[in-house]
Each structure stands twice: as structure tokens, then as C-alpha cells.
């Protein structure tokens, strides 16, 4: 692992007092829960709860794309990448914006092909059948759960580094708050709070960046890195170059397959998605580079780092004092909330629509056959109230499960999140092929995901996390193309427009 070649000393003492940290935590907890309840008043039906009535405009659509993609991984992993991989590290993380740019036109096609759709898994099931949907469903749930765990871990790490609040306490509060306000309002609450959070994040990051640049002599940072850690400035750092392409493909896979982005495509008014995602990508692009500079500054400034994924907040807080620590607290807390709530809502939609509802339909059908009733006259679809209850229970379960796994605080954010890289990378080609071409069939989709995931995970353990997505996506692409040539299909896209039962 790259981490092994870097020595981290003990982290410095927390900048804020625990009292100040608890006060900030309480204030923002009350704020987000209150806003969630207020926005959630509009969620009167399941359509409102799951996809915000399919009427989200450009301003809210752009804000939710930006806020969701500015995760704690952006504000905490981008500096870690720079600290461990140098200048290419920060650039590597910024390539995740390419996924938003690529998804912009795809979101418009998704909205046109499936005007009544809810999830990405629903598309794969109707496009590739059971053979393609089973591996995709497993990958989607595993990735969502991994992302939830990494966000939960980031919350605990942030509060511990900045204010000395014990990791279990901070992590528990962050998860609980997001679960509570997502329960009240679903997608309305998520997108509404995302709008406020995106404004706070953007303004806060600009202020932090300007304040840090005023405090630091860039020429001095460059000189110290050149003398002490020249590899961080090298454009031929092999691991960093591999990470550059690895992270780009990981970003494509994340967005193309994740129901977090598909649910927003369904929620936005027709024609809004392409503009919202394109603008969101442009706004997000420079943020990892700015955040990454904090990672490069740490070794030059002699700031001790015990956990590499906390380097960004720690450097900013150390340089800017109490005011900087408070600002960093606000920015990262908002980025955490905007991602956790999105994951909870989108993953609950996926589980309800693609696991619970089909099982309910099968149960009713089997009961009718056993009683010799006519299944054609029996309602197979879950009611809005039943789906809402199922969503509530699912959100609570997801929050509790992610809390339980994040509690031990094992591993860094990078190692936890990028374990899912080969899986999401293997979904790129089935999604692109399924959306735009008739010939790809179920066998091509299934085999590409299986071979891509298997080889990518081998690379993760044999080489490192910084190549896993690259290997998984490459092998998946080759298998998908060959299987499509050997076993071509002739899918009719009109079949996607019907309202699913």
C-alpha cells in the first residue's frame, strides 16, 4: 500500500473544545431535522417521497447534484490523495467530475425512456431480465452500504479531530440526524436540505481556500516538498498515474450505476437533468484540487498526521485557528449530511421497489394460485401507504446497519470506499450499452459484471486499491463486447416506457 511509505506522527490536539463541538453538533442537528420536516410536508404520496413528484427544477436539481457529489470524501479524501500521491492525487480525485458530465445526457435519455421509473435496478431488470439484474442489484446494495459506512466513519473522524468528541459519539449523532430527517420527508427533504447545504459548502470552501492561501507561502511549500518529498511533485509517480485513471473510472461507475443519481434523474422535470448535471460537474471540478492543496501543505508545514484521511480538516483548522476549525466543521458536516441522506433515500427506494415489491407480488400470486382465484383480478401492486411504511423501516435498518459496521473504525476512507471500485467499474458498460444500443443482451451484462468484479477484487488485494477500478472496468468492457458479438439481442426500447407493475 502507498500508505506504508509515509510515516504519520500523532495528530495534534483538537482545535475546538469538546463543549464547542457539542454545541455546533446540536445546532446543526436541530437545523437539519427542522428543515427536513418542513420540506417533507410536500411528500403526501409515495411518488413525492421517492422522486419528489418528478417536478424538480434546474436550481434545486443543480444544487442536489453538487451537494451530493461534494461528499466528505471530496473534502477529506482529496487531501489524503494529495498527501500520499502528490499533485496527481488531487487531480485524480477531480476526474470524478467527468462522471457528472457523462451522466448529463444519459439522465435525459433515462427520463424519456422510463417516465414512470424509480430505480436503476428497475431499468436493468426490464432491459436485461433476471440474469442481468441479480448481479447489478447485489453490486448496487453493496456499494450503497459501503458509501454509507465511509460517510459515517468520516463524521466520527471529523468531530474527533476538530473538537475531541469521541469517535463513537460523533459518528452516532451524524447517522441518527440524517436518518430522522430523511424519514420525515424522503426525496423532498433530501433535495431541499441539499440546496441549503450546497450554498453553505461552496461559500465555506471558498473562504477556507482564500484564508489558507493567505497564510501559506506557496513557493516555500514547493521548496520543502522538492527537498524532502520530491516524489509528491513528480509527474511520473507510477502509483499516482494509475490512481488518476482508476479514480476516473470509479467516478464513472459510481454515477452510472448508483440509484442516488438515477432517482434524481427521475425526480427532475423532463429536460432539466442534462443541464443540472453538467452545471453541477463544472461547479464541482475545482473543489478537489483546492482541497488537495491542504494535503500537500501538511508535510511542508510539519503538521503531524495520525490518520491520513483527516489531513484536510486538520491542516485548515491548524492554520486558521478556532474560526477555521468552526468553518471546516460546518463545511464537512454539510457535505456528510448531503450524502448520507441521499444514500438513505435512494437505497430505500431500491430495496422497496426491487426487492420488497416483487416479493410481495410473488407472494400474492402464489396465494391466488393456491386458492384457485383469478390472479388477473387481484391487485398485485403495493399501495402507497405500504410502500411508505416499507421505506421507513428500510431507512431505519440502513442507518442501524451502517452504524454497526462503522463503529469499530477499521481502515481509512480510501480503503473502505475503493473496495467497491471494481464492482461499480464493471457496471459502466452494461449501463451504456443498455441505454443506447439494442444488441447487448442479458448474458453480456451478467458476464461483464461477474468477470469485472472478480478480476478487480483480485487487483485490489494483489496490487492495491489504486488500480482495482481500472482493472475491473477494463476486463468488464472486453467481456461485454465479446459477449455482445457472440450472443446479440434485439431489444425494443418502447418496452421501458410502460408503467411497471
pLDDT of residue 4: 32
pLDDT of residue 457: 94
pLDDT of residue 372: 52
pLDDT of residue 3: 35
Question: What are the residue ranges of helices labelled H in 377-500?
Answer: 384-406, 413-417, 421-425, 428-436, 442-462, 465-486
Place 89 in a pLDDT band, splitting at 50, 70 and 90: confident
Cα separation, 193 vs 190, whole angstroms: 5
Classify each residue of 215-254 as buried b or exposed e, where b means 16 or more C-beta atoms within 10 Å of its C-beta: ebeeeebeebbeeebeebeeeebebbbbbbbbbbbbbbbb
pLDDT in tens, 169-204: 989 998 999 899 888 878 888 888 888 888 888 888
pLDDT of residue 252: 92
As a whole number, mean pLDDT of residues 354-382 equals: 65
Output the average pLDDT for the chain. 82
Task: Give the rounded percent of residues in the chain with a pLDDT score beyond 70.
Answer: 88
| Residue 286 backbone phi and psi in degrees, to 5 | -80, -15
Task: Give the rounded percent of residues in the chain with a pLDDT score beyond 90.
Answer: 31
As a whole number, mean pLDDT of residues 112-118 equals: 92
User: What letter would DSSP give residue 353?
Assistant: I
As a whole number, mean pLDDT of residues 214-242 equals: 75
**What is the Cα gyration radius of the chain?**
23
Contact, 427 vs 257, CB < 8 A?
yes
pTM: 0.84
2-416 is a CATH 1.20.1730.10 domain: yes
pLDDT of residue 424: 92
pLDDT of residue 297: 78
Sorted by where each begins, the domain ranges of the chain are 2-416
pLDDT in tens, 5-53: 333 333 345 667 888 888 888 988 898 888 888 877 777 788 888 888 8
Place 377 in a pLDDT band, splitting at 50, 70 and 90: very low
pLDDT of residue 323: 77
- Nearest one of 338, 443, 337, 348 to 119, comparing CA atoms: 348
As a whole number, mean pLDDT of residues 411-416 equals: 60
Residue 378, Cβ neighbours under 10 Å: how many?
12
pLDDT of residue 51: 84
As a whole number, mean pLDDT of residues 414-424 equals: 78
Amino acid at each position: 500500500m502507498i500508505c506504508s511509505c509515509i510515516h504519520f506522527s500523532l495528530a495534534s490536539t483538537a482545535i475546538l473544545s469538546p463543549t464547542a463541538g457539542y454545541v455546533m453538533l446540536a445546532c446543526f442537528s436541530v437545523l437539519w431535522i427542522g428543515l427536513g420536516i418542513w420540506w417533507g410536508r410536500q411528500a403526501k404520496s409515495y411518488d413525492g417521497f421517492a422522486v419528489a413528484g418528478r417536478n424538480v427544477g434546474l436550481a434545486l436539481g443543480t444544487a442536489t447534484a453538487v451537494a451530493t457529489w461534494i461528499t466528505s470524501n471530496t473534502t477529506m479524501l482529496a487531501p489524503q490523495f494529495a498527501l500520499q500521491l502528490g499533485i496527481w492525487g488531487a487531480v485524480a480525485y477531480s476526474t470524478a467530475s467527468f462522471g457528472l458530465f457523462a451522466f448529463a445526457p444519459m439522465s435525459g435519455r433515462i427520463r424519456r425512456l422510463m417516465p414512470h421509473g424509480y430505480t436503476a435496478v428497475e431499468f436493468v431488470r426490464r432491459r436485461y431480465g433476471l440474469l442481468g439484474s441479480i448481479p447489478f442489484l447485489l453490486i448496487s446494495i453493496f456499494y450503497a452500504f459501503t458509501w454509507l459506512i465511509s460517510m459515517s466513519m468520516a463524521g466520527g473522524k471529523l468531530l474527533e479531530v476538530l473538537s475531541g468528541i469521541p469517535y463513537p459519539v460523533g459518528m452516532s449523532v451524524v447517522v441518527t440526524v440524517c436518518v430522522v430527517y430523511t424519514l420525515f420527508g424522503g426525496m423532498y427533504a433530501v433535495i431541499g436540505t441539499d440546496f441549503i447545504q450546497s450554498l453553505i459548502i461552496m461559500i465555506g470552501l471558498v473562504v477556507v481556500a482564500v484564508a489558507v492561501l493567505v497564510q501559506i507561502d506557496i513557493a516555500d511549500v514547493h521548496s520543502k516538498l522538492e527537498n524532502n518529498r520530491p516524489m509528491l511533485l513528480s509527474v511520473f509517480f507510477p502509483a499516482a498515474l494509475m490512481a488518476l485513471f482508476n479514480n476516473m473510472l470509479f467516478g464513472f461507475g459510481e454515477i452510472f450505476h448508483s440509484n442516488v443519481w438515477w432517482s434524481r434523474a427521475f425526480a427532475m422535470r423532463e429536460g432539466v437533468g442534462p443541464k443540472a448535471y453538467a452545471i453541477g460537474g463544472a461547479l464541482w471540478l475545482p473543489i478537489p484540487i483546492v482541497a488537495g492543496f491542504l494535503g500537500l501543505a501538511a508535510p511542508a508545514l510539519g503538521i503531524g498526521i495520525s490518520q491520513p484521511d483527516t489531513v484536510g480538516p486538520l491542516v485548515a483548522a491548524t492554520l486558521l485557528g478556532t474560526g477555521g476549525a468552526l468553518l471546516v466543521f460546518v463545511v464537512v458536516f454539510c457535505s456528510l449530511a448531503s450524502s448520507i441522506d441521499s444514500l438513505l433515500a435512494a437505497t430505500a427506494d431500491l430495496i422497496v421497489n426491487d426487492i420488497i415489491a416483487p416479493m410481495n407480488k410473488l407472494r400474492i400470486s402464489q396465494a391466488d394460485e393456491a386458492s384457485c382465484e383469478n390472479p388477473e383480478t387481484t391487485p398485485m401492486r403495493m399501495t402507497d401507504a405500504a410502500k411508505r411504511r416499507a421505506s421507513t423501516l428500510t431507512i431505519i435498518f440502513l442507518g442501524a446497519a451502517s452504524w454497526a459496521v462503522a463503529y469499530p473504525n477499521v481502515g481509512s476512507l480510501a480503503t473502505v470506499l475503493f473496495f467497491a471500485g471494481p464492482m461499480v467499474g464493471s457496471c459502466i458498460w452494461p449501463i451504456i450499452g443498455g441505454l443506447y444500443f439494442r444488441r447487448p443482451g442479458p448474458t453480456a451484462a451478467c458476464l461483464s459484471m461477474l468477470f469485472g468484479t472478480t478480476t478487480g477484487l483480485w487487483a485490489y488485494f494483489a496490487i492495491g486499491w489504486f488500480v482495482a477500478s481500472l482493472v475491473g472496468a477494463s476486463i468488464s468492457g472486453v467481456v461485454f463486447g465479446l459477449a455482445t458479438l457472440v450472443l446479440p439481442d434485439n431489444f425494443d426500447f418502447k418496452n421501458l416506457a410502460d408503467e411497471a407493475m
